[in-house]
Chain A
């Protein structure tokens, strides 16, 4: 047995410890427990261990081969956004007391973490306009799938209706999960960039368990959430449900929480369950994770919610305190009857979320939303004015918008990259939908100034012109 920098058993310790255990060697402990036939008789084929500074250099070298948002002017979004993370979040997330505890199974020594969860739940309830929130789940798309499962538990019906405006990863994740829990997924197409309300209403019937849409949708368009909710609720009433008469499908909205400073809260639009990707709230990009998923709902769904929930209580002498509550929903108590299998979720990332929302504050979130709205509008109009660029749809947008280029998007993006600009996401590459060919999804954050947008316009315009010329030349 060796002595690594993370272990502390010296040869003297080992002798004393083996003596106390009453065995002659370390080997004996394993020989008496692991059958000979399943022992590994060779070293693991992995590189040798290395000193801390070498490991750091290796990881720094790997990082250096990535082009981060530090090194190019990036307009990538589509679910994760390069918002500024205030320094105090780094400081708080690195504190041992938040970074290194386990899930708060002993509330008396976990009041800090539990109160953070309680505050987080309060903030998410405020943002979404829905009275109950859990303490976080993994991330956005799996939160949508978790909402599908909640709907199944709630009304036992078999069909999940989804708008094609949902993020493709959300639809794909929902399909993966729903094959397990035995439901079918039916997609409602868009019209002019928004969920086709007529098709949506027509698709609702007595088998519809949940009706799911995104706000804003994947193409940046602001949906008419109220009309979608109303249609889902009315459609079910009109058709009359065989399994659960009188109860409408669960209306689920996938939100981008940072837009809720300006967009009407889901709870004020008839939505039953709001889920979403929380990354924009104070979390890093981290190549896609970890971040957190938010999950909020109307009161009637409280006892079917997945994940941890912190609740307020008193100690034996009457002091205010917090505990994990409603645990009879959870896997460690209910096992196969649990409302979800989730255990570890995203507590540290949710901490960043609530600190970020406190940092933005009641006024700040509105100011930020209005800034994003104005810049997004400016960027959309500026780019759409470029020769060879058009809007993919005319719907209202607040932080992201879709364009159509009259040239090969991949080739144009490569040209822009050479000038240090990443103009956005190649829509077709992500969705695989034919109608998305030529589509470019452009995201705006408060880190992208007017000057940045103007530079994007210059570089994109030049790239399109060059690409057109190259195509003509190649054809000739």
Chain B
């Protein structure tokens, strides 16, 4: 079977011409023995839109003035007016198109190749969702349109709330938060409000040392204090540490399950009992929900609050850093504190925005943002749920876990595990974390070098140096939408890079070679920040 390796041909510059990834059938990344050539994109000058164009050029034709002209000074006095126009580009439409299409070619993307970025769930983004979201009835609908004339949108939101509630095993959903970390903030504020309503001022939030950085950052923004929990030898929460730290000052435990090591905490039932035993709430970071949809529900595990990342588990495209969407689902006891508005269905079957009813949101923490949330993301996530159905969601999670375990097994076959051992456990859920410690010590290749060398093989590297407790961590999440051939090719590429490094570790250290730019100086960028074009 030929390996399905995508991406541009790797062209290695002088000194690395004999480097051969050695993947059977992987012609696209084969390094040829001819004279070294500069990859075409490296030869292009880097010019910003502000450096293009010429005075007088334009892409915009302003509609003609069809009302009587106004005397500026009388309608807008000079001290309120701008003195000089902002120095925006002066470019024609074709120049804009060439410029941004040119920039797009300097990006790697999910539609072009494998993207096993751990904890980011880079699964295929169906184009149906883009088509549906672009329908004028969705895309040109004003958020303040009257409810009776936006029933389709409200019904969609209500259906999505209901589906997310079923998936989470928690009955009440607010779609408001704009992304995962925004959902976290909403959730921690809900937890805080719940305790305050009971006359308790609890100030501690427990977070494991494997937690995403957003968890502790959120706790601080919510005015609470982070207390770290240790991880045990199996990759779960250290139960002794939890018992020692769980006291009446604890408002909440924030947990990702499976966690960022890809480990489903075997003690989850006991953890829930301990946390609830001291009167605290249990918060589920849904970044890794793709492992358990239809298999195990946070609500059934004992969680009170869950956030979803619609841009992960429910395949809203990530856009190079957003938009996202981070709805939260909660249990009955914290439902009165949900952010508003939510969508409610009336007795007559019509839908309305609900700013706090007898159950949901009656003691709401308030709004997390303007209007109703990232509706465009709701359309896409809802389309995905409709396409897959309940069984399809479970199949997606099962396949995601299967693919992760298979890729892990293939890496072992490639003789990778001596250099890149699995950090915890034997099997994994939807992702796994390898330690590059032995690779660094024995081959002189850091995890960063391996990641950069993978770029020459046409792959997006896994997440690196996270979680922090794993030495030289490499966090791999293949997702369910990849073929076996792609997983084979990726494992082969990692094997090839290690084999190459045994001969010459400097190749990886100097990588990448084939990308639009080579390794970039991030230290210099931070030392003297240049964050806008000079004009």
Contacts and interface: CB of A to CB of B under 8 A. Distances in A.
A24 interface: no
Contacts of B3: none
B389 to A, nearest CB: 3
B404 to A, nearest CB: 9
B141 A102 contact: no
B372 interface: yes
A179 interface: yes
A287 B150 contact: yes
Nearest to A129: B86
Contact of B137 (A7, A65, A109): A65
Contacts of B324: 344
B320 A104 contact: yes
A2 B391 CA distance: 8
B530 A79 contact: no
Contacts of B481: 6-8
A204 B400 CA distance: 56
Interface in A101-136: 101-113, 115-119, 121-123, 125-127, 131-133, 135-136
Contact of A22 (B134, B409, B529, B531): B409
Given A122-B50, A141-B369, A314-B524, A65 B155 contact: yes
A346 B455 CA distance: 25
Given A58-B386, A109-B108, A310-B531, A8 B483 contact: yes
Contacts of B179: 138, 342-345
Contacts of B72: 373
Residue from B48, B85, B300, B368 with most neighbouring chain A CB atoms (10 Å): B85
Interface residues of A, number: 210
B102 to A, nearest CB: 8
A244 interface: no
Given A43-B390, A63-B137, A313-B520, A288 B365 contact: no
Contact of A323 (B391, B525, B533): B525
B65 A371 contact: yes
B76 A373 contact: yes
Given A6-B396, A61-B152, A261 B85 contact: yes
Interface string A318-361: 01111101111011111111101111111111010011011111
B277 interface: no
**Range for the number of chain B residues in contact with chain A:** 35 or more
B274 interface: no
Contact of B214 (A3, A343, A425): A343
Residue from B117, B150, B219, B321 with most neighbouring chain A CB atoms (10 Å): B321
Nearest to B188: A180
A289 B66 contact: no
Interface string B94-108: 001101110111111
A97 B121 CA distance: 17
Contacts of A21: 402, 405-406, 408-409, 427
A233 interface: no
A443 B463 CA distance: 46
A226 to B, nearest CB: 7
A385 interface: no
Nearest to B143: A288
B441 interface: no
Interface in B340-379: 365-377, 379
Contacts of A136: 322
Contacts of A49: 386-389, 391-392
A318 to B, nearest CB: 10
A94 B408 CA distance: 34
A239 interface: no
A74 interface: yes
Contact of A289 (B57, B135, B166, B376): B376
Interface string A364-382: 1111100101110110000
Interface string A433-476: 00000000000001001110100000000000000000000000
B103 A88 contact: no
Contacts of B482: 8
Residue from A88, A313, A446 with most neighbouring chain B CB atoms (10 Å): A313
Nearest to B487: A17
B370 A262 contact: no
Contacts of A182: 223
A115 B408 CA distance: 35
Contacts of A58: 386
B124 interface: yes
A279 to B, nearest CB: 9
B194 interface: no
B529 A319 contact: no
B395 interface: yes
Contact of B269 (A38, A74, A337, A417): A38
A377 to B, nearest CB: 5
Interface string B498-520: 00000000000010100111111
B288 interface: no
B9 interface: no
Given A262-B82, A333-B213, A29 B405 contact: yes
A112 B532 CA distance: 15
9 contacts: A21-B402, A61-B152, A173-B370, A264-B82, A288-B375, A308-B321, A310-B531, A340-B217, A362-B90
Given A63-B152, A371-B63, 9 more contacts: A6-B124, A20-B409, A30-B295, A104-B320, A142-B368, A310-B531, A341-B217, A351-B320, A422-B145
